Structure 1
């Protein structure tokens, strides 16, 4: 009989996660091209609601592109491109053993279809990896994290076009060869399942340039599946020690009531979330997905060798992002993953994110039961409007409470048998929000002194959570033994 597990594994990786487009800035330096993120404006009149930036039509696209009437926070970020050594020194002080980051596609291929990569971009990330190595911090690198070259949107309508497959594989091949001795863990595409929330950022599709928008989204996903399989195939020839992963944003939901129709809708919705993992981990399109496509007039162009390629080149690990949970009611909701109702038993932050640490335990346990491959948390965090006191302290007990309970829930999943090797909170220092393009929606252990218009000293201040997370890492999670969910 197996022994009872207790606590986190001794070699567990503790760290945090960021995306290049939300922190780097330097948006036109060293040959970088424009990406989808570079046209995301800050619109303060939205009153903390998510801008529907990821379902753009051509009119909105060109209104946001190169329009001096708007302020674009991503252009400056938090100056990580120039100041990464300062940030890494603080992460080292906390005891980080891993750091999830992305490479900006437009720093390597500014337009996405050049014959040769940008040497300055390649050089920059070599320097970043060397700095991480100095501190013994393991890089976990996302190849595509909402940073598609804007040129590919205009020329091909993004991933709706098959041409994107070879262009993306070429970009990834450059990364794999260039950094084969510096990076072990690769995530090919960030949150590949978020088509209802991040369609433009991930797929680069303009909805008015399609006859069937939903079909175009799933066609784009199929192209990403094919590209990912080709990248995994390449990786195993370049360096057999590479660990290649896929990433899912947790969209697993709960029934609003025990009404049988709520339960049935929940099951159908959850299966279409597992679909993305089933293809990349189990290597095949499940029958329920084929039935869903048939019922919704979705007819995918799948080439003869695609399914064989997908079957042969599955991923090594699953990365999951988890922030909050959702419910569905058969009386109010349909199959759209963004269509949900609030859970009356949960509290939410200002952006409506319902806090549910038990949901993380259930999610990771269910993924383990389904897939039985190593897993990691790639994002988990609590956005809040922090207050910088006169003495430059930030008392973020709410963040400590949120993270403590979620990490404790993760430990419960591990003790129940789930193979989880890393935890990366979002984000270790304040960055620009992907949803609302503001920095005042803060996540970090480190306060970055900029406001939503990029004004401020840029000074870095340690929040109370900085010292708290440092202790969590030092004790390998044992400091959370008294946390009650």
Structure 2
């Protein structure tokens, strides 16, 4: 027997997470190509509980790309591309020991299929990573975070096309070759399991109800599994000190009631969420997934070598994003992962999020029991319409949310889970991934831009800024 844990390990990494497409801006600067994120418009009065940029048809794509009357917030972000040093000053002041960021594929390969990378893009990210290193902040880098080159959608059909495996591998090997000395932790694909909400951004597959869209999605996922294996193999051979991880959005469900039907449906739905981790961490397609494919007339096109690539190249760590929890009612819901029921015991915010801190403890404990590999929190946060008054933002609601979630995470650690990092979403305000609005704010730092990119751009510390600084300095003891 070993001594029980009493809290976070001494070298625990505290920080925050962002995505290039939500913060960088400079969408056509220094040779950058156009990405799937660059054509997501913002519409005033949008339904905040819906995601209108997932099932994108060919007609919608043409409209998004050629409509000069639309406003595209992610083309501006919060001007992080040119102002990253200012933002890093804030992170350093809070005492960050890590920062999760993504590299925009279109800054390295503007169209995704060039033979040689864009040197200006490589130099930019070397400058960014070097700045982090000088400040003693460990970068955790996502290679693909909902911003694939639009050319790969229109020319190749997205990840359904097997050709994307080698195109993506070429991109990832360039990142490893150029930044292996500055980056230890790599996340290959952001939230690979979130196909019910991010099929266009992550897979680049256009929605066509006349085809088996579910089959197209899982074909794309299979190609991403193979690509992950090849990236891991390359890193292991050339840069064994680099760690290659996979990332899942937590979609683990609770049964709506103790009715056997609810419990069974939740169990079946949860297995199809574990599927994505089972393949990349355990190394095989599980039987329950093969039966799911059969039931849904999904026939994947594979090559004989795919099985060995997946089996031999497992993830070094698991990254989890957690915001809220879900329920499933067998009388109302089916196997569609987007089909859920409200939890009557939880309150929802205006974006429909049922806040459940104890769910984080259950989630991380379940993943640890299933996989027994190092884990990190890659995203966890509370979006809200903050009010700036006299240069201050009093966001006790955010402090309350984060305090309860960190406490739950700590309990998972005490109970044995190997968790090495916590990255809240996001350390400073950025454009929302789902609704493309600026009003849905997460940061410890208020960024003075509105939904249409207007504002001074000044940075203001919120109350949560000073709270999180104490959390970091006390290694999670002072909440």
User: TM-score of the superposition, structure 2-length normalised?
Assistant: 0.99
Q: Are 1:6 and 1:415, in contact at CA under 8 Å, matched by a contact in 2? A: yes
Residues in 1 aligned to 2:112 and 2:434: alpha-carbon distance in whole angstroms:
24
User: For structure 1, which runs of at least 5 residues remain unmatched after alignment?
Assistant: 481-485
State yes or no: 1:104 paired with 2:104: yes
State yes or no: 1:208 paired with 2:212: no
Quote the offset at 1:239 in angstroms.
0.8
State yes or no: 1:133 paired with 2:133: yes
Equivalence for 1:419 = 418
Alignment of 1:431-450 (within 5 A): 431-450=430-449
Alignment of 1:305-320 (within 5 A): 305-320=305-320
Quote the offset at 1:209 in angstroms.
8.7
Residues in 2 aligned to 1:413 and 1:347: alpha-carbon distance in whole angstroms:
24
Q: Deviations over 1:20-75 (max 9, x none)?
A: 00000000000000000000000123242333211111011111113111100001
Equivalence for 1:483 = none
Alignment of 1:110-189 (within 5 A): 110-189=110-189
Alignment of 1:13-412 (within 5 A): 13-208=13-208, 211-389=211-389, 391-412=390-411
Residues in 1 aligned to 2:17 and 2:336: alpha-carbon distance in whole angstroms:
28
Residues in 2 aligned to 1:274 and 1:177: alpha-carbon distance in whole angstroms:
32
Q: How many residues are treated as equivalent by the alignment?
A: 479
Q: Secondary structure at the match of 1:14?
A: strand
Q: Are 1:143 and 1:172, in contact at CA under 8 Å, matched by a contact in 2? A: yes
User: For structure 2, which runs of at least 5 residues remain unmatched after alignment?
Assistant: none
Quote the offset at 1:210 in angstroms.
7.0
Q: Give the direction of change, closer, same or farther, for the CA distance of 1:263–1:23 in structure 2 (3 Å limit).
A: same
Q: Secondary structure at the match of 1:167?
A: helix
State yes or no: 1:456 paired with 2:455: yes
Residues in 1 aligned to 2:66 and 2:387: alpha-carbon distance in whole angstroms:
33
Residues in 2 aligned to 1:22 and 1:49: alpha-carbon distance in whole angstroms:
19
State yes or no: 1:473 paired with 2:472: yes
Q: Are 1:232 and 1:244, in contact at CA under 8 Å, matched by a contact in 2? A: yes
Residues in 1 aligned to 2:300 and 2:419: alpha-carbon distance in whole angstroms:
34
Residues in 1 aligned to 2:50 and 2:71: alpha-carbon distance in whole angstroms:
16
Q: Deviations over 1:97-149 (max 9, x none)?
A: 00000000000000000010000000000000110011100000000000100
Q: Secondary structure at the match of 1:378?
A: strand
Q: Are 1:80 and 1:87, in contact at CA under 8 Å, matched by a contact in 2? A: yes
Q: Are 2:49 and 2:350, in contact at CA under 8 Å, matched by a contact in 1? A: no
User: TM-score of the superposition, structure 1-length normalised?
Assistant: 0.98
